[in-house]
Amino acid sequence: MIDDGTGLFTIGELARSTGLTVRTIRYWSDEGVLTPVGRSTGGYRLYDAESAARLELIRTLRELGLGLADVRKVLDGERTVAEVAAAHVVALDARIRSLKVTRAVLSTVARRGSSAEEMTLMNKLARLSAAERRRIMEEFVEEMFHGLDLADPDIRERMRDTAVNLPDDPTPEQVDAWVELAELVQDPEFRAQMRRAAELNHADRGPDTPAGASRWFARRLVEQVGKAREQGIEPAAPEAEQVLRELFGDTDRAAILERINATHNPRLARYRELLGTLKGTPVKTFAEEFAWVGAALEARLAS
């Protein structure tokens, strides 16, 4: 406080009492959020006790991340502290989500040893909006089932539900899963594989075939093959023939093998695993059971 009986402070004295720098206080004064109450005979800015209290409020708001425009509105009474805080929470939440995606992308890049080009693509895919992610998945499903009216509606509906979004708080594994999934469903070769699987499902069904029949048969296959594997029956063993007959009867073995390869292959299994990771619900692909059937069929077709 200057020793003239006015109870006013110079900017230097205000800085010493608050722990702020003269430069910071001068900047806030220049920006109009801390107006001096007057000037000394030498032209120096002077502040009073109310200025010191105002300065503490400014510092608190700035430490919480508010911009000077919002600080000014609070100090001028245009907005309450609560209103500005609520708006700032929303902005902070968005920033936190963005930072977490950035961290997840960098973790994936480090784990994969990605090139600069791959990192750019991963970052672009990870930051797609919810609408853009839905569009990618919906276009994929539409291409898969277009014109195939007899395809199992249960499968069609479950596929349409795959328009998933990244969680608000994604783990590096979930970001990695989305990036890989987006790359997969935009791969022409994989799209062709999935289309072929849908075509085979469509060809196998009649107008009266109940929805969910495909899943029911898959469960039966897994159960039957699981028992055979528990008994140690190898795909090429004579005992495997009985398992095939119980599952397929006298149906053409080459046609069955084509369907197995189209609907249960490593890339399709990976697709299901990625969806499970994104949804937080691990998926069983039963790859070993279907591989056993494929090997059993191949053994008999080769003999």
What is the per-residue DSSP string for 197-242? HHHHHHHH--TTPPTTHHHHHHHHHHHHHHHHHHTT--TTSTTHHH
- Can you tell me the distance from the alpha carbon of 155 to that of 160, in angstroms, rounded to the nearest whole number? 9
* pLDDT reported for residue 3: 47
Residue identified by tokens 């107008």 is: 207
Q: What is the pLDDT along the chain (303 residues), one digit of tens a residue?
A: 444 556 788 889 888 888 889 999 999 999 888 888 888 888 888 988 888 888 888 888 888 888 888 888 888 888 888 888 888 888 888 788 778 888 888 887 888 888 888 888 888 888 887 778 888 888 998 998 898 888 888 887 877 776 566 676 777 788 888 888 888 999 999 999 999 888 888 877 777 777 776 778 888 989 999 999 999 999 999 999 999 999 988 888 898 888 888 888 889 889 989 988 888 888 888 888 989 999 999 998 887
Quote the pTM value.
Answer: 0.64
Place of tokens 């797609």: 128
Distance CA 156, CA 112 (A): 33
Tokens of 106: 């960098």
> Which of 274, 111, 65, 297 has its CA nearest to residue 180?
274
- Dihedral sign for Cα 190, 162, 279, 97, please: positive
Distance CA 140, CA 133 (A): 11
Q: Transcribe 35-95 into DSSP letters.
A: --SEE-TTS-EEE-HHHHHHHHHHHHHHHTT--HHHHHHHHTTSS-HHHHHHHHHHHHHHH
Strand order in the sheet with 45-47: 9-10, 45-47, 38-39
Q: Which residues, in sequence order, are bridge partners of residue 38?
A: 46
**Per-residue confidence (pLDDT) for residue 1, from 0 to 100:** 47
Q: Across the strands, what pairs with 39?
A: 45
Helix (H, G, I), strand (E, B) or coil at 32: coil
- Read off the tokens for 159: 């596929």
**Which tokens is 180 given?**
């890989």
Q: What is the pLDDT, as a whole number, of residue 173? A: 82
- Write down the number of H helices and E strands in the chain: 15, 3
Give the separation between CA 141 and CA 158, rounded to whole angstroms.
Answer: 10
Give the pLDDT score at 165.
63
Would you state the pLDDT for residue 24?
92
Q: String of b and e for 97-135 (b: at least 16 CB within 10 Å)?
A: eeebbeebbbebbeeeebeeeebeebbebbebeeeebee
| pLDDT on residue 239 | 93
Distance CA 165, CA 183 (A): 15
Distances in whole angstroms, Cα of residue 227 to Cα of each of 101, 216, 260: 44, 17, 19
Place of tokens 């059993």: 296
